[in-house]
């Protein structure tokens, strides 16, 4: 019978991981002062209408395009004429390599895993986009490399495995231990088809980044694996503490989110460049923390209902989340402000800040019960679309995108099955 080996403590799995956490925590605490370098401008009613019209037109174009060329032309027109994009966005996203990378990724998914669920495809594609943005930021050719494909597919595979009710809890723990050993470089025979696919993704990464030359690539992969596993264990402890009516320290929840989020984009960065400079490593970690916190804000109501504790869900029913949302905005401004000197694409920090800001403001408006009326109005005034548009059109547009030929891999000219 296979026995689990003792796993390396998660905090020591990446040399320097603790210092990255500490500097991110200091940056977050400094953001609590709520001071922004400049006021976020209000978006006028007419501009919102123009943006909403452009989004609806492009979603229709994406659904009905009869060729990839037509879709690409529609995307370019949207990026050039769409009022949602300021000048830095136009410069960055007009690079055709972004479209080509997404297209190549989806083609690889169809070839390697034709029955891959659309939701998982979307999850993996979002990570491809983050890695493509890092490629652009660091002066690396934007493309869907084997490293980008392998890592973006790796965690949907592991998530599917961990969520499979047909697999016992004990086997899942053993599988986590085998994955840990495989990431550490030990050869092992995969148990079943799902694990075979996971190991194959690791092989793709190994071929792109030989372990002897790029040790930090695999240290970062171990770091994200350990932090994800530890977050599950600590989450259980948090729930039990709630049952015993013991208050949890905010620092513990922050530690979970920071390590998990920071480790994820740190691995993205290493799989983009192979090696990172200290300031690049710091940015990737902080950007990952920011994205994780933005996700936690977006999911705060659902997390609260499921007793899944995050910084935002802990206070969801106790007090308005205005202060924490403002702190997150200031934190994002600091993260991208600190990155000004390290990015080859000088317009990238402003581009990333604007789009992260929209994500935060949109999450606020989609969770009105967590915020005061004044803050909801403040957020809506600064978002490029109206709250009504978000409430009535968001799901419709997402469905059109999900069912488009581009996302499903259907050949252009065929009927897409809804």
* Window from 122-126, 130-134, 231-235, 292-296 with minimum mean pLDDT: 231-235
* Residue 24 · residue 262 · CB < 8 Å: yes
CA angle 274, 294, 157 (to 5 degrees): 55
Q: In this structure, what token pair is assigned to residue 69?
A: 């060329």
Give the per-residue pLDDT at 88: 62
* Residue 217 · residue 205 · CB < 8 Å: yes
* Residue 332 · residue 357 · CB < 8 Å: yes
Q: How confident is the model at residue 299 (pLDDT cuts 50, 70, 90)?
A: very high
DSSP 302: H
**Overall average pLDDT of the 88-100 stretch:** 79
Q: In this structure, what token pair is assigned to residue 261?
A: 């989020």
Q: In this structure, what token pair is assigned to residue 154?
A: 């790796």
* Residue 216 · residue 272 · CB < 8 Å: no
Q: In this structure, what token pair is assigned to residue 2?
A: 């296979």
pTM of structure = 0.87
* Window from 269-273, 277-281, 283-287, 410-414 with minimum mean pLDDT: 410-414
Question: DSSP strand E in 293-344: where?
Answer: none
Q: How confident is the model at residue 187 (pLDDT cuts 50, 70, 90)?
A: confident
Q: Which residue has the tokens 């995307």?
A: 75
Q: How confident is the model at residue 414 (pLDDT cuts 50, 70, 90)?
A: very low
Q: How confident is the model at residue 93 (pLDDT cuts 50, 70, 90)?
A: confident
Tell whether the model's pLDDT for residue 398 goes beyond 80. Answer: no
**Overall average pLDDT of the 347-356 stretch:** 90
* Window from 39-43, 54-58, 136-140, 367-371 with minimum mean pLDDT: 54-58
* Window from 82-86, 148-152, 236-240 with minimum mean pLDDT: 236-240
* Residue 248 · residue 238 · CB < 8 Å: yes
* Residue 281 · residue 21 · CB < 8 Å: no
- With residues binned 3-state (H G I as helix, E B as strand, rest as coil), the percentages for the chain, rounded to 5, are 70, 0, 30
**C-alpha distances out from residue 75 to 79, 102, 124, 136, Å:** 6, 13, 21, 19
By three-state DSSP, how is residue 4 classified?
A: coil
Give the per-residue pLDDT at 241: 52
* Window from 175-189, 203-217, 319-333, 368-382 with minimum mean pLDDT: 175-189
CB-count burial class (<10 Å; 0-12, 13-18, 19+) for 366: middle
Give the per-residue pLDDT at 231: 66
What's the rounded Cα separation, in Å, for the pair 274 and 151?
Answer: 13
Distance of alpha carbon 139 from the chain centroid: 21
Tell whether the model's pLDDT for residue 383 goes beyond 60. Answer: yes
**Overall average pLDDT of the 71-99 stretch:** 71
Which phi-psi region, left, alpha or beta, contains residue 113 (left: φ > 0; alpha: ψ -120 to 50)?
beta
Give the per-residue pLDDT at 127: 94
pLDDT higher for 98 or 88? 98
Helices (H), 209-310: 215-243, 250-273, 278-298, 300-305
- Please name each of the domains of the chain with its CATH number: 10-408 (1.10.600.10)
Give the per-residue pLDDT at 413: 46
């Amino acid at each position: 019978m296979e026995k689990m080996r003792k796993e390396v403590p998660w905090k020591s799995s990446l040399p320097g991981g603790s210092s990255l956490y500490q500097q991110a925590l200091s940056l977050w605490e400094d953001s609590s002062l709520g001071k922004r370098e400049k006021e976020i401008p209000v978006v006028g009613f007419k501009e919102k209408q123009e943006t909403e019209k452009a989004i609806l037109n492009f979603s229709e174009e994406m659904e009905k395009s009869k060729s990839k060329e037509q879709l690409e032309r529609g995307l370019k027109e949207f990026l050039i004429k769409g009022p949602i994009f300021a000048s830095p966005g136009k410069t960055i996203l007009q690079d055709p390599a972004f479209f080509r990378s997404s297209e190549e990724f989806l083609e690889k998914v169809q070839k390697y895993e034709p029955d891959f669920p659309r939701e998982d495809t979307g999850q993996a594609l979002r990570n491809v986009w983050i890695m493509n943005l890092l490629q652009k930021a660091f002066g690396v050719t934007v493309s869907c490399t084997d490293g980008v494909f392998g890592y973006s597919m790796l965690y949907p595979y592991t998530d599917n495995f961990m969520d499979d009710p047909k697999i016992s809890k004990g086997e899942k723990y053993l599988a986590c231990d085998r994955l840990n050993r495989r990431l550490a470089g030990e050869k092992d025979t995969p148990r079943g088809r799902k694990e075979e696919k996971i190991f194959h993704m690791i092989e793709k990464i190994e071929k792109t980044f030989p372990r002897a030359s790029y040790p930090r690539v695999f240290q970062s992969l171990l770091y994200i694996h350990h932090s994800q596993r530890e977050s599950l264990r600590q989450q259980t402890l948090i729930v039990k503490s709630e049952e015993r009516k013991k208050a949890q320290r905010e620092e513990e929840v922050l530690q979970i989110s920071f390590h998990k989020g920071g480790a994820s984009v740190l691995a993205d960065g290493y799989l983009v460049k192979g090696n990172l400079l200290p300031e690049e490593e710091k940015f990737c970690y902080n950007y990952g923390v920011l994205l994780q916190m933005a996700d936690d804000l977006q999911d705060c109501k659902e997390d609260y209902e499921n007793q899944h504790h995050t910084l935002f869900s802990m206070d969801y029913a106790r007090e308005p989340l205005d202060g924490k949302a403002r702190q997150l905005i200031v934190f994002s401004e600091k993260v991208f402000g600190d990155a000004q000197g390290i990015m080859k694409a000088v317009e990238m920090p402003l581009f990333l800040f604007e789009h992260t800001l929209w994500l935060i403001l949109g999450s606020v408006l989609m969770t009105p019960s967590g915020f005061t009326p004044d803050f909801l109005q403040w957020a809506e005034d600064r978002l490029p679309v109206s709250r009504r548009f978000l409430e009535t059109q968001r799901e419709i547009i997402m469905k059109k995108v999900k069912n488009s030929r581009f996302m499903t891999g259907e050949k252009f000219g065929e009927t897409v099955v809804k």
